[in-house]
Amino acid sequence: MSDIKIAPSMLSCNFSNLENELKRIDNAGADYIHLDVMDGHFVPNITFGAPVIKAMRPHTDKVFDVHLMINPAAPHIEDFANAGADIITIHAEADTHTHRVLQQIKSLGKKAGLALNPATPTDILDHVMDLVDLILVMTVNPGFGGQSYIPLEDKIADVRTRIEASGRDIDLQIDGGVTDQTIGEARAAGANVFVAGTYVFKDGVDTYADKISTLKGA
* Residues at the contact surface with ligand DX5, assessed by CB under 6 A: 9, 11-12, 34, 36, 67, 140, 142-143, 145-147, 175-178, 195-199
> Choosing from 39, 95, 158, 175, which is the catalytic residue?
175
Phi, psi for residue 211 in degrees, rounded to 5: -65, -45
Q: Which of 67, 76, 211, 216 binds Zn ion (CB under 5 A)?
A: 67
Asked whether position 158 contacts Zn ion by CB under 5 A, the answer is no
Least distance (Å) between residue 165 CB and ligand DX5 = 27
Considering 36, 65, 95, 133, which one is annotated as catalytic? 36
Nearest CA to 33 among 67, 1, 70? 67
The 10 Å Cβ neighbour count of residue 195 is: 25
Residue 51, exposed/middle/buried by CB under 10 A (0-12, 13-18, 19+)? exposed
Q: Which does 176 bind (CB under 5 to 8 A by kind): Zn ion, ligand DX5, none?
A: ligand DX5
Q: Is 76 in the site for Zn ion (CB under 5 A)?
A: no
Q: How far is the CB of 173 from ligand DX5 (least distance, A)?
A: 10
* 175 contacts Zn ion (rule: CB under 5 A): yes
Per-residue burial over 68-104, b if 16 or more Cβ lie within 10 Å, else e, is bbbbbbbebbeebbebbbbbbbbbbbbbeebeebbeb
- Could you say whether residue 24 binds Zn ion (CB under 5 A)? no
Residue nearest to Zn ion according to CB distances in the complex = 67
- Output DSSP code: residue 181: T
Q: Catalytic site residue 180?
A: no
The enclosing H or E element of 5 equals strand 5-8
CB of 167 to Zn ion, least distance (A): 27
Contact yes or no for 201/166 (Cβ under 8 A): no
Active site residues: 36, 175
